[in-house]
Amino acid sequence: MTPDELAALIVDLRQEGSDTPEIEVKRAAGGFPDSVLPTVSAFANTPGGGVIVFGLDERDGFAAVGVYDVVACKATLATKTRQALDPPATFEAWDLEFEGAAVLVAKIHEQPSHGKPCRVTSSGKAYLRSYDGDYELSQVEEQTFIANRSTPMFDQQVVPGATRNDLHPDLLAAYLASCRASSTALAAMPDDEVLYRTGVTTGSDRSPSLAGLIALGTYPQQYVPNAVIQASVAPRAGDPPGTRAADVRRFDGPLPLMLDEALRWVQRNTRTRVRFGIDGQGRDEPEFPVEAVRELLSNALIHRDLGPYALTQAITLRLDERQLVLSNPGGLWGITVDRLGKTGVTSARNGQLLRICQNVRSQEGNRVVEALASGIPAVLSSLRDAGMVPPRFHDQGISFTVAVPNHALLAREDLDWLAGLPAAATLGDRQRHALVAMRRGQTWTNQSFRETFPMDSREARTELAGLVEAGVATADGERGGRVYRIAAHLTGEALIPTARITSQSAPQPGNSPADKTSPNARRKNWDLIQRHLNTGDMTAVEISEATGLTARQVQYALQLMREAGSVALIGSQGHRDSRYRIVAPPQGD
């Protein structure tokens, strides 16, 4: 890490007002911090690891207070990571100076799968990073890590009590026909042999495997009750006070039926918009491309963790005014987030289920899996063709979440304007949306950009810098308060009034970090959070799920609301079971 990278990292922390999922700050001015081991354990268990910065004071706005002794701090960290953790954690460190103080930065490496979970030896506890805290693993989460030490084979296991009669006759007939049509070898086999050779049945009595039951069963939930999709719509402006969710549904049955019903539910709860193509013709298009939603649902159903510890959890699907969020038990297997969508890159947690679903069709005649390694590329392609930004993927090791922002489709005049702008040809999808918003009078900061286009602060900085490098935007102000505006040479035409490029509110003047001194800016999201807290005490995670706000938005608002005496924390800071309670209506700063 370079001094410039450290400076940028601290700017991001100051903008956030708290630690982040990837970065933890320790004061370390008076000695080695006692709270380091849980943080190292959490980062070692979290995909991608994380960074600990020694020598900053979070309570004083991340002021540089310096490390008590850099050499001693580094030596103590090395000793503790070797001797106080099982298995030992590894790290790399840098001695740097920031604002005249000595700072130590340590990058904690992720443990390989066979080394998870990494435990604190003295307590036997293991931790995981979530939001800005280190949380002790539950028994279910520990079992998830232990099971991931080897290739999962849960989908091949026998389902106790299930018989061939539990398979749906129509699905079974269509499956057998598809298998025989795609394989000369299978075409010559009797039905029972085809089912056994393709993994639908298993064991000496040829009873259904878990994969066969989930894909082709009449009602798999008789044996695996939580192999379902739990769907809900976030409260809307017109909903009665106290509403936590609308159109709550539980989709069950065989996998292809769940896929079809969940897809129809998304279409029913989202809007259709008119989009103008390059031929000038307006066409009705869904808020979320059907192909993208289908592929994401299919991926969640096929790649969810099927271990006994994970089958206590359902896939969750949530819609709000800003995004579609889909989460399934079990993180990525054999692949990392940065490789998703790359041509020919695939990895299957449930190899048997994946192969079966290549020959399973939904009620509408679509294959559940069209081709290996084609799902995520199809999602990215369909979103790009719709003029939308890519989804945001988050792998926590024990769960995998994808968020698809519902940015409005670009109108014909916007497409024409971009087409006549040579520099726009080099811009990405998010940058084009941001530039169109600038044309309408919008300004951007790092925080407002990443809240609108879900990403981390470094990605946002790169995207915004790309607009400046392309000559279509300017940046004013120092790091931490930098504001991006449309370039002067593009303002010859009158700025188009109107304001929103997404179905969520695009950050307006007075609501951006650049205006943090404004009372309205500091009260942003208070009313929304208070409305949900009025129904009862909630954790920060529950508030984030109920409101659709990001974890960082929730933490920032709650911090200010606590300072104003509007809410009280019931429990300990940074503990995921701690809850927040309304004390009095929020007061202005």
Q: From CA 150, how far away is CA 522, in angstroms rounded?
A: 48
Single-letter amino acid code for the residue at 343? T
Burial label for 247, CB within 10 Å (0-12, 13-18, 19+), is exposed
Has residue 28 got a pLDDT over 90? yes
Q: What are the residues facing 405 on neighbouring strands?
A: 323
Give one DSSP letter per residue of 210-250, joined into a string.
HHHHHHHBS-GGGT-TT-SEEEEEPPPTTSPTT---EEEEE
Q: From CA 340, how far away is CA 347, in angstroms rounded?
A: 10
Angstrom CA distances, 254 to 216, 412, 488, stand at: 6, 42, 58
Report, as an integer, the average pLDDT of 426-434: 83
What pLDDT, on a 0 to 100 scale, did the predictor assign at position 561? Answer: 83
Q: Which residue's entry shows tokens 């001797």?
A: 83
Single-letter amino acid code for the residue at 38? P
CB 330 within 8 A of CB 305: yes
109-123, 531-545, 572-586: which has the minimum mean pLDDT? Answer: 572-586
| CA pseudo-torsion sign 453, 528, 230, 569 | positive
What pLDDT, on a 0 to 100 scale, did the predictor assign at position 371? Answer: 59
Both tokens of 551, joined, read 């974890």
Single-letter amino acid code for the residue at 254? P
What pLDDT, on a 0 to 100 scale, did the predictor assign at position 421? Answer: 85
Inter-axis angle of helices 412-419 and 429-439, nearest 10: 110
CB 502 within 8 A of CB 408: yes
What pLDDT, on a 0 to 100 scale, did the predictor assign at position 513? Answer: 34
| Per-domain boundaries in the chain | 3-137, 154-222, 229-237+245-405, 412-514, 521-582
Rounded to 5 degrees, what angle do the CA atoms 464, 467, 472 make?
140
Which alpha helices (H) appear in 374-525, and where do they start and end?
375-385, 412-419, 429-439, 446-452, 457-469, 519-522
Given this chain, do its domains 229-237+245-405 and 412-514 carry the same CATH topology?
Answer: no
Confidence of residue 504 (pLDDT cuts 50, 70, 90): very low
Both tokens of 127, joined, read 């931790």
**Under CATH, what is the fold of the domain 229-237+245-405?**
Heat Shock Protein 90 (3.30.565)
Has residue 587 got a pLDDT over 50? no
Has residue 191 got a pLDDT over 60? yes
Q: Which residue's entry shows tokens 């044309």?
A: 439
Of 222, 190, 228, residue with least CA distance to 208: 222
Q: What are the residues facing 286 on neighbouring strands?
A: 272
> Between 3.40.309.10, 3.30.950.30, 3.10.20.440, 3.30.1550.10, what CATH number should domain 3-137 receive?
3.30.950.30
| CA pseudo-torsion sign 225, 400, 292, 360 | negative
Has residue 516 got a pLDDT over 60? no
Q: From CA 95, how far away is CA 274, in angstroms rounded?
A: 55
CATH number of 521-582: 1.10.10.10
83-92, 169-178, 240-249, 518-527: which has the minimum mean pLDDT? Answer: 518-527
CB 430 within 8 A of CB 453: yes
Has residue 493 got a pLDDT over 80? no
Higher pLDDT, 564 or 387: 564
Report, as an integer, the average pLDDT of 37-47: 94
Confidence of residue 88 (pLDDT cuts 50, 70, 90): very high
pLDDT > 90 fraction of the chain, expressed in percent and rounded: 41
What pLDDT, on a 0 to 100 scale, did the predictor assign at position 93? Answer: 95
Per the prediction, the chain carries an average pLDDT of 83
Of 140, 5, 135, 146, residue with least CA distance to 457: 5
Confidence of residue 92 (pLDDT cuts 50, 70, 90): very high
Has residue 418 got a pLDDT over 80? yes
Report, as an integer, the average pLDDT of 95-105: 94
3-state secondary structure of 486: strand
pLDDT digits (tens, 9 = 90+) for 43-79: 999 888 999 999 999 888 899 999 999 999 999 999 9
Highest mean pLDDT among 7-16, 238-247, 467-476, 537-546: 467-476
CATH number of 412-514: 1.10.10.10
Confidence of residue 492 (pLDDT cuts 50, 70, 90): low
pLDDT digits (tens, 9 = 90+) for 451-489: 777 677 778 888 898 999 889 999 887 665 688 999 988
